[in-house]
Amino acid sequence: EVLRIEVRLSYKAKMIEIINNLGEFKKLGLPVAIGISRKSFLGKELLPTERLGFCLELTALAIKNGATIIRTHDVAETKIITF
C-alpha cells in the first residue's frame, strides 16, 4: 500500500501547505508518493518545460518533508536533486 498524493490543485498556496505537512501523512506508516511535475499551478503563463525549476524546488521540499516516491516527467533533473 502507498499513500498517493496527486497534485491537481490550481492554488499554489494550498499545494505548498500540503507539501509542508507531508510529515502528518507519513505518520500513517505508509510510503508517501507525490506527483508535482509540470503542474499548471506553478505558472499557467509558463510552458510545462519552463516550470522545471519550480517543480524541482517543490520536489526537494516534498522529499525533505517525507515523500518517499516521486512521480516526475523530468527524471534526470529530479535524480540530481535527490542525491
Give the integer Cα–Cα distance in Å for 80 and 83. Answer: 6
Catalytic-labelled residue, pool 12, 38, 39, 51: 39
Amino acid at 78: T
Q: Is 71 annotated as catalytic?
A: yes
Sequence-distant (6+) residues with CB within 8 A of 45 are: none
Q: Is 39 annotated as catalytic?
A: yes
Amino acid at 17: E
Q: What is the dihedral sign for C-alpha 65, 20, 14, 73?
A: negative
Catalytic positions, written as ranges? 39, 71
